[in-house]
Amino acid sequence: MARLLRQLGTTTAVYVTHDRHEAERLAHRIVHLSTGRVQAVRHVLSSSGGSHAKVYAD
């Protein structure tokens, strides 16, 4: 998916997954939904800026 987005030259995409690890690999931001409502929006930290675990700590 990440390779496809680079090839297309796009900077914005919405990708729905239930796989936490897949989301962490692809995302710059992760949105948590519950019953169709946004519960939280978190920026995914880079490897130089911290851990992906921060997204799920709250």
pLDDT in tens, 5-49: 788 887 777 888 888 888 878 788 888 888 989 988 888 765 544
pLDDT of residue 49: 47
CA distance 57 to 47: 17
Question: Which residue range is the domain that position 29 belongs to?
Answer: 16-57
Q: Is residue 11, in this structure, part of any structural domain at all? A: no
H helices of 1-58, in order, are 2-8, 20-26, 53-57
Looking at the domain assignment, is residue 45 inside a domain? yes
Name residue, tokens 């409502």. 37
Q: Is residue 42 part of a domain?
A: yes
| pLDDT number for residue 35 | 92
pTM: 0.54
What local confidence, expressed as pLDDT, does residue 56 receive?
Answer: 53
Query: Is 34 contained in some domain?
Result: yes
Q: Has residue 36 been placed in a domain?
A: yes
Q: How many domains does the chain have?
A: 1
Q: Is residue 8 part of a domain?
A: no
The answer to whether residue 5 sits within a structural domain is no
